[in-house]
Amino acid sequence: MVTGQSGLFTQYNIQKKAMTVKEFRQLANSSKYCTPRYLDYEDLERKYWKNLTFVAPIYGADINGSIYDEGVDEWNIARLNTVLDVVEEECGISIEGVNTPYLYFGMWKTTFAWHTEDMDLYSINYLHFGEPKSWYAIPPEHGKRLERLAQGFFPSSSQGCDAFLRHKMTLISPSVLKKYGIPFDKITQEAGEFMITFPYGYHAGFNHGFNCAESTNFATVRWIDYGKVAKLCTCRNDMVKISMDIFVKKFQPDRYQIWKQGKDIYTIDHTKPTPESTPEVKTWLQRKKKLRKPPKSLQGNKPLCKRPKPEEDEEFAEFSGEEGANPAMGPRHLKVTEKP
């Protein structure tokens, strides 16, 4: 459910009963929820913002699992082999949707509100099949400007939590961003394409119709400095918090002691590219390769994880939907939402 006006909205998610993908697809294509006729993507975007508060759609969001084949290593979101793997290797911690993949079944007008990723990590999103997904993205160097704008427009939310945008409830239209001079990019992701978001890169967007996407987070050594200063939500118990100690100790050993003393003063350059590698990463990868075990099966009791199916077999999943305007394989293209 979405409330608001004049380009400023708040969305609320209401848990709905579980349904199969076949049932969800039928619902998404029904006269009540189907995509309206449109001339082009710009026309559909106008219809989205005009009708945002009417007929709350249902989003099959945050479903733990993957539809990649178990034996696939290439382009497999569940096996990115990045430094974020340290969380599970060293701490034995698995965080659903962060270092494991999540599935998202969308319909027209289902939305993800303005946010950065947990701990300001990178994210990767692959659109398996179905209708496109439109994204808005703000360059990381302008993230503070969006936060100040949101604080001004949503003062009660801001007073309740310094990091209220992590609640993923706030929608600000592109027309408002333009009015206040906040630069942003628009991009539309088609089926078979990847989308990458960068650390502290605010993004939001919506689905054009019935589709299925898979996403997770990942990290590079460049992210570590972002993780150390990420502003976290403290008003909710379910927010993700990752200790940065192991990352600094393992990948920034020369800065570990001064970081522990609170003297590691570092100004992040949002335009600085990620180094191809470092000696610490090379050592970790070599050790990881030697100790590598056969991959854990993603299979489980849920039909969703049992076996991958093509789009035509629609009864391979059951999930609980959320009512609200919210939230082998190879890519055709790689789309990037922000500059590193």
Active site residues: 97, 104, 115, 117, 203, 215
What does the alpha-carbon distance between residue 117 and residue 98 come to, in Å, rounded to a whole number? Answer: 9
Distance of CA 50 to the CA centre of its chain: 25
Contact (CB, 8 A) for 183 and 145: no
**Cross-strand partners of 206:** 111, 134
Contact (CB, 8 A) for 157 and 246: no
Contact (CB, 8 A) for 188 and 132: yes
Considering all CA atoms of the chain, what is the largest pairwise distance in Å, rounded to the nearest integer? 61
Contact (CB, 8 A) for 319 and 60: yes
Q: What's the angle, vertex CA 200, arms to CA 199 and CA 204, rounded to 5?
A: 105
What does the alpha-carbon distance between residue 157 and residue 209 come to, in Å, rounded to a whole number? Answer: 30
Pairing of strands 2-5, 211-218: unpaired
What does the alpha-carbon distance between residue 13 and residue 337 come to, in Å, rounded to a whole number? Answer: 26
Helix (H) / strand (E) containing 217: strand 211-218
Taking CA atoms, 173 is separated from 7, 111, 137, 150, in Å, by: 5, 12, 12, 11
What secondary structure letter does DSSP report for 210? S
| 3-state DSSP assignment of residue 27 | helix
**Cross-strand partners of 2:** 11
> What are the φ and ψ backbone dihedral angles of 86, each rounded to 5 degrees?
-60, -30
What does the alpha-carbon distance between residue 318 and residue 244 come to, in Å, rounded to a whole number? Answer: 36
